């Protein structure tokens, strides 16, 4: 069973992640690898590295195309990803994935210059995802377990859009993913 899950994740990242990541000149795979590499570089535990690698897996399990936001569609990839991942991983992996979109909304609400740093496609998707959080939403978000990990994952998500950045391959990160699988 565990080997089947690992193979499915590896196959999604190797064979289904060739589409562009939004309006960027990186693929879904490159974005995932850059996110995981940033988490690894900063010495985070396997759960956050695995979450960083798989944070956009929800884009790979639906059939809405590479950029549904351009069509005015919120693909709710964070929920799709969480639903898929929570079957195989604990909340230390699945919850930062579920919360990484909320973390963008949170950062827009609490950091005056965060919105100005967003890429055009992140601004577009933010409008579909509810915009910056209200004060009440900020308070509720801060009370959630794994909110800090989701914010860190969001920061890696924002940074992981560099064309041509060399990273380790998918296989390099599969040990982290395997270490986090539920028994």
Q: What is the pLDDT of residues 41-100, one digit of tens each?
A: 999 999 999 999 999 888 776 554 555 545 554 456 778 889 999 999 999 999 999 999
Greater confidence (67 vs 120) lies with 120
| pLDDT for res 62 | 52
| pLDDT for res 122 | 82
In this prediction, what percent of the chain has a pLDDT beyond 90?
68
* Across 130-140, average pLDDT: 96
**What band does 23 get if pLDDT is binned at 50, 70 and 90?**
low
**Which stretch of 20-34, 43-57, 161-175 has the lowest confidence by average pLDDT?**
20-34
Here the CATH number for the domain that contains residue 108 is 1.10.3210.10
**What band does 169 get if pLDDT is binned at 50, 70 and 90?**
very high
Q: How far apart are CA 51 and CA 46, in angstroms?
A: 8
- Give the range of the structural domain holding residue 172, as residue numbers without chain letter: 2-180
pLDDT at 34 over 50: yes
Q: How far apart are CA 51 and CA 97, in angstroms?
A: 6
pLDDT at 138 over 50: yes
| pLDDT for res 64 | 47
| pLDDT for res 128 | 79
* Across 21-29, average pLDDT: 76
Burial class (CB in 10 A: 0-12, 13-18, 19+), 108: buried
Q: How many domains does the chain have?
A: 1
- Average pLDDT taken over every residue of the chain: 89
Over its C-alpha atoms, the chain yields an Rg (Å, rounded) of 15
pLDDT at 124 over 90: no
Tell me the C-alpha to C-alpha distance, in Å, between residue 170 and each of 7, 29, 31, 137.
11, 8, 11, 35
Residues 75, 62: contact at Cβ < 8 Å?
Answer: yes
| pLDDT for res 127 | 80
pLDDT at 176 over 50: yes
């Amino acid at each position: 069973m565990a080997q089947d899950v690992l193979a499915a994740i590896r196959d999604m990242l190797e064979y289904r992640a060739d589409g562009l990541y939004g309006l960027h000149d990186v693929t879904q795979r490159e974005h995932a690898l850059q996110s995981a590499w940033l988490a690894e570089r900063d010495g985070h535990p396997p759960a956050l590295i695995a979450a960083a690698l798989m944070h956009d897996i929800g884009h790979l399990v639906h059939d809405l195309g590479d950029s549904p936001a351009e069509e005015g569609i919120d693909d709710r990839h964070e929920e799709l990803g969480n639903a898929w991942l929570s079957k195989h991983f604990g909340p230390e992996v699945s919850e930062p994935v579920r919360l990484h979109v909320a973390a963008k909304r949170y950062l827009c609400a609490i950091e005056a210059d965060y919105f100005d740093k967003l890429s055009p496609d992140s601004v577009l998707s933010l409008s579909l995802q509810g915009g910056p959080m209200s004060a009440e939403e900020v308070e509720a978000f801060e009370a959630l377990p794994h909110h800090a990990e989701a914010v860190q994952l969001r920061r890696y998500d924002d940074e992981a859009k560099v064309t041509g950045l060399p990273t380790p391959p998918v296989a390099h990160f599969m040990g982290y993913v395997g270490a986090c699988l539920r028994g």
